[in-house]
Amino acid sequence: MSATLRDMSTEGSLLRRIPAILVTLGLVVIAVVFFFPMVWMVLSSFKSNAEIFSSPFALPTGIDFSRWVEAWDVGHIGQYALNSVIVTGSSVFAILLLGVGAAFAFSRYRFPGRSLLMGLLALGLLLPLQSYFIAQATMFTDLAITDTRWALIVPYTAMGLPLAVYLLKVYLDALPDELFEAARIDGAGDLRMFWSLVVPLLRPGLATVAIFSALSCWNEFLLALLYIQDDALKTIPTGLLAFSSRYVTDYGLLFSALSIITLPMIVIYIVFNKQIVEGITAGSLK
């Protein structure tokens, strides 16, 4: 019934189609406007300062990647990217490992203190960064871990855990009890059950959690700004800021750096858009 109705509406009169065409045109215009700053950024990366000033909309005279290479090497963008990969990779790995452990305990065991501990962790869903970063900074200074990667990996892990545990627990709660009973009857111990049952079954949930955790670690700025002064350890956000004050008037080089950082993210989105959209919506709606 609904299928035939849909056919009628799509193949209906021309009059009915005009709004649809207008909508499509409007969307194309909006997409172009949205995308234009990024197109301008890439085009400008191939221009000299003089060209950037005199003809902002003109195409560059040639496509020359030498400034990109310069930004990557001389400007340390490569080093910042590597630091971001290390910090994000370690944090996401820790979030997943510790998160599954906690979610498993909350989902499959009943033990004294369970609701109290769950409540404590749920506080992390409500408390903003502003509620703890001042004291965290003084603590990290006292412990002399500022200007080490730990100063980022530890807080990123802690900040990512509450939502990760919450979502993974939802996935785990949906698994049938019989699975675990059967494993128990077969003689599996707690640890064995964790590694050979929980972790493999949770793979789709882990992927979702990994995606939004990775995005927030990759983009985090405030803590990175406060804890890392050593240029060799800076991640992309703080590194780019340092870069932009080092080369404050070398616009071609700045646009090159921005392009190097932006283009891989566009490619990643095009390739993984389904998983990313799923990760982002799960991360915000649940």
Partner 1 sequence: MKSKWALAPYLFLAPALLVFGFAVLLPVAMTVGYSFTEWNGYGEMIFVGFENYITAIGDTVFRDSFVHVLIYIVVTLVLEVAVGLVLAGLVSGVKRGSLWFRVAIFTPVMLPMVVVAVLWAFVYNADFGLLNAALEAFGLAELQRVWLGDTSTALLAISVVSGWVYAGFYMTIFYAAFSQIPTDVVEAARLDGAGEARIFRSVKVPMIRSAVIVAVLLCVTGGFQSFDLFYVMTNGGPYGATEIPTTYLVRTVFSFGNVGYGSAMAVLLTGVIVAIGLVFVRLNGRNGKRDRA
Among positions 18-57, residues that touch partner 1 (CB under 8 A) are: 19-20, 23-24, 26-28, 30-32, 34-38, 40-41, 44, 52-53, 56-57
Contacting residue, 123, 195, 203, 229, with partner 1 by CB under 8 A: 123
Contact call for residue 189 and partner 1 (CB under 8 A): yes
Contacting residue, 197, 207, 226, 275, with partner 1 by CB under 8 A: 226
Contact call for residue 211 and partner 1 (CB under 8 A): no
Residues near 149 by beta carbon (within 8 Å), at least 6 away in sequence = 83, 86, 87, 90, 233
User: How many chain residues bind partner 1 (CB under 8 A)?
Assistant: 116
Residue tagged 């709606």 (tokens): 285
Closest CB to partner 1 among residues 62, 176: 176
Positions 244 through 273 that interact with partner 1 (CB under 8 A): 244, 251, 254-255, 258, 261-262, 265-266, 268-270, 273
Positions 141 through 180 that interact with partner 1 (CB under 8 A): 141, 154-155, 157-159, 161-163, 165-166, 177, 180
Other beta carbons within 10 Å of 61: 10
Q: Could you tell me if 199 and 248 are in contact, meaning their C-beta atoms sit under 8 angstroms apart?
A: no
Contact call for residue 61 and partner 1 (CB under 8 A): no
DSSP for 68-95, please give it.
Answer: HHHHHHTT-HHHHHHHHHHHHHHHHHHH
b/e per residue, 71-106, with b = 16+ CB within 10 A?
bbeebbbebbbebbeebbebbbebbbebbbebbbbb
Taking CB under 8 A as the binding criterion, the range among 65-73, 115-123, 199-207 that sits at the site for partner 1 is 115-123
CA-CA distance, 274 to 265, in Å (whole number)? 14
Contact call for residue 122 and partner 1 (CB under 8 A): yes
Contact call for residue 129 and partner 1 (CB under 8 A): yes
CB of 9 to partner 1, least distance (A): 7
Contact call for residue 102 and partner 1 (CB under 8 A): yes
Closest CB to partner 1 among residues 62, 284: 284
Q: Which tokens belong to 53? A: 């000033």
Half-sphere exposure of 188 (CA within 13 A, CB side): 16
